[in-house]
Structure 1
């Protein structure tokens, strides 16, 4: 793979070669919580299908924007609805930044978008355990991108540190795609009116299981929102996307709270089981995934063997600052974790026996 190929790699590619049939596949590679959205949200979407012959109604889009604004305590002018948070990175890359810095290890899509726009990307690579510590972007950086919590490390950075990066002449982009599964106390979403260069991106893809519909939004100053929106075509969002965003934030508080509790419980249980099986958990994750090193001396060979059995894990050598000794594992239930642990143990034993016969 070229460097660009590695940066463009996503967890859904971990199943390439498995056959494409999800039946029987145990997927730790993709962070989407469920195969589809909760029934109450699916019902809302079904109720709109009969009207899809019309262009997206402006009233629906406006009401979705209003719901997002109320959810975060900002003016609707601070909200830009997106066809997935990844669209936001593409729009931001089009602003013409000259000195962008991307904090790594982190989601690679921002760097991909900036490179595609011809920007000379610099990397701020954090050392293990991948906290900010005393690290700070260079003064000349006019765009800084960081995930919080970060993908794939799961580290939740202090809001006050990132807030301190905001300054005149700089756009500070915070990818909060997984923030809804934390307690939200470190979110900067409600602070965009006070920081003209602050941009916060949010996604509904993972928690609400809407990866196939592409739903997200960004929050920024009204001036910055207007600049970003001016580069879009007519009807950048479909009706179902706007309806999903509106319903998720209007009606989803109880669902998100329950998902948060479930993730916390499963993550704690999963950490304990993995450690007992010889895995090293590399960070204190606050996200619905764990960064780990598996037992054995050849993690990549183990990963390939698991994939052949329909057990998918996310390789991490595609993230700048990490290598193939790391895996990212989506938080899953006890049965899936037991399947993973058993398969890894079996592969490790088989490898040891093979070496003994050589």
Structure 2
């Protein structure tokens, strides 16, 4: 073997040639060697397998007739190993093969079958194709690795940044509330109220960014415990009414609404859905919230408001940063995405139906017990 199998391959593309005749190896090496290509040679199947353990090759050129282990057997071993399964194989043979042997070659994973003496230009063209594909795969892997690194870095930075924003934001909100309550001037009180409202909106955005970071990094967990979904929904409605005094919300519960769920996550699900319906529904028309616990194994929740969502927009409602039905929406476009992920974590699902009767309805189907996978 001419090459040192332990030497680093750098940026060169390895091409493997397996033949039991030394002169054939020298001829193939002379033909294929050029800048950017490193020719690995082996005199038999065992030696070839050792090379394949050390190198990721662009293509393997295998002689069919070899002692101890022929080319077909080597190809079958390569096909059976995860590391070498995708390596393209070109068989080289010095005799005219029967159709059955040709079929066996392709069955062993061959992409081509050439007869010696091989036409140099034909072989160079075929090897060149697989070298180019190898380089493209390498570049794609490098870009994907870099992209994943950037995404992880961005998510980490978002989590740290949003966490560190909480303390000053709490101080701003507290100061605005003090101004709103103690100021003698109505103008100052209104300014304090606006600051407090803006602080609350920013706090919700921070919560959404934190949840988004947890979801994308695989750190989202639910902690289910026995509770009452109607009571949790009533608490969410109370919060929305406090933030939006003009909101009209009709809440109705039927059947048995006790279940096992994460109260904090489910509170956020109700809050996001109902607040979204209030924001995008017709002014003065109540938002309907229905909890149906009459089924033994699950609870259905429906949130309805007037207005419709175009079919194209419905396909992206639960996609992050694309779920804002209106361009002037004050949110980040994460609310419905977070709803979908939280509901999935509970083993349920959420669907949107829009257009029937001029209404938009979001329906949640929640199991009474969170599956173990949650």
TM interval, short-chain normalised: under 0.3
TM-score, normalised on structure 2? 0.22
Structure with greater helix percent: 2
Indicate the structure whose relative CO is greater, using CA pairs within 8 Å and at least 6 residues apart: 1
